[in-house]
Amino acid sequence: MKKYEQFSQLKVIEDIPLLLRVDGRSFSKYTKQLKLEKPFDGRLRDIFIEVSKDLITEFNPKYVYTFSDEINILFEESPFNGRIEKIDSIIASFISSSFMKHLIINKDKFDVDVYQLKPASFDCRIITTAAHKKEYFKWRQDEAWRNCLNSYAQSVLNKNHSPKETSEILFKLKKQDIHELLYENGINIAHVPTWHKRGVCLYKMCQEDESRNPKTNEKNISISKEIYIDLEMELIK
């Protein structure tokens, strides 16, 4: 029967960097059911930060970048010997269960009974262009910026239009028109929090810890690795 496990040996090259993008399934509906604030809800951001920390602790990727309902992950080398089915299924399921875990830990911060919601799920895709990792993260950060402009514009237009009308109007607006629309409605997009515009990245950073031996008073320096969370990301150029 083993031969019918047709894709189990499908692999990416193991000893080169690997990029993954994990995205929430139907999160437009899920965030509505959770009654999240629009356009940005810090409670969702905080859950994605906790999920990213779990991911770093468990799988030790080099860099994680998250915005909206997506998490981008860079590995120095492929986990699971490059086995595609393993990578996609384990990372997506780990993120789904970590997401639910942190939703439940924080259940009192939400206005709905989170136990009544459907389980959240995520898809995971492999991006085989790790040689262009900087361009990849720039592309995702550009997408975060587009998402930021559109989400603010949507929340302004939704006040006076149906969702259908809003998307029709948005479709026709140019970037400059969106800036003007926001400005007229008292939103200076330059002044919204950096994480709304650029997302959040996390990575392990070496930290020097100094201590003294109480008997000899000798100085000891040890190196530990802490997870650093950057809420004030620079623009990736």
Ligand X SMILES: Nc1nc2c(ncn2[C@@H]2O[C@H](COP(=O)(O)OP(=O)(O)O)[C@@H](O)[C@H]2O)c(=O)[nH]1
Site residues (vs Mg ion, CB under 5 A)? 23-24, 27, 69
Q: Is 27 in the site for ligand X (CB under 6 A)?
A: yes
CA distances in angstroms from 216 to 211, 219, 231, listed in the order given: 12, 9, 41
Other beta carbons within 10 angstroms of residue 195's beta carbon come to 22
In this structure, are residues 169 and 157 in contact, taking their beta carbons and an 8 Å threshold? yes
Q: Is 40 in the site for ligand X (CB under 6 A)?
A: yes
- Report phi then psi at 5, rounded to 5: -80, 70
* Residue (43 or 161) nearer to Mg ion, CB: 43
- Whether the bond into 39 is cis, omega within 30 of 0: yes
* Residue (23 or 230) nearer to Mg ion, CB: 23
Q: Is 28 in the site for ligand X (CB under 6 A)?
A: yes
- Token duo for residue 198: 């650029």
Query: Least distance in Å: CB of 105 to Mg ion?
Result: 22
DSSP designation for 220: E
Instruction: Work out which of 11, 12, 16, 41 binds ligand X, going by CB under 6 A.
Output: 41
How far is the C-alpha of 92 from the C-alpha of 75, rounded, in Å? Answer: 15
* Residue (23 or 85) nearer to Mg ion, CB: 23
From 38-46, 157-165, 167-175, 228-236, span contacting ligand X (CB under 6 A): 38-46
Interacting residues of 157 by C-beta distance below 8 A, sequence separation 6+: 165, 166, 169, 170, 181
Instruction: Work out which of 33, 38, 118, 135 binds ligand X, going by CB under 6 A.
Output: 38
Mask of contacts with ligand X, 49-88, x by CB under 6 A? -------------------xx-------------------
Q: Please give the residue ranges that form the binding site for ligand X (CB under 6 A).
A: 23-24, 26-28, 31, 36, 38, 40-41, 44, 68-69
